[in-house]
Amino acid sequence: MAGERVRIIQRDVVKSGIGFGSALAIVISYTAHKSVLWAIIHGFFSWFYVIYFLLTR
């Protein structure tokens, strides 16, 4: 019973957390532009920005 409860809680946290693509896009964007606003915008686009960044580098 307790083990099942832990799995349910872990699934909910992962669903509501930030994804790896968004985190990667935020880090790349902030490193490249030094702007929090651009980092947030690029984090929203996540993998699209990561791929764009890799293609234009």
| Model pLDDT for residues 28-51, shown as the tens digit of each residue | 999 999 999 999 999 999 999 999
| DSSP track, 7-51 | HHHHHHHHHHS--HHHHHHHHHHHHHH--HHHHHHHHHHTHHHHH
Cβ count within 10 A of residue 23: 13
Kindly state the DSSP code that residue 53 receives in the 8-state scheme.
Answer: H
Which residue ranges make up each domain of the chain? 18-57
Kindly state the DSSP code that residue 46 receives in the 8-state scheme.
Answer: T
Q: Considering Cα of 18, then 20, then 21, then 25, what sign does the dihedral take?
A: positive
Would you state the structure tokens that stand for residue 53, as one six-digit string? 């960044």
Kindly tell me if the per-residue pLDDT of 3 is higher than 90. no
**pTM for the full model?**
0.70
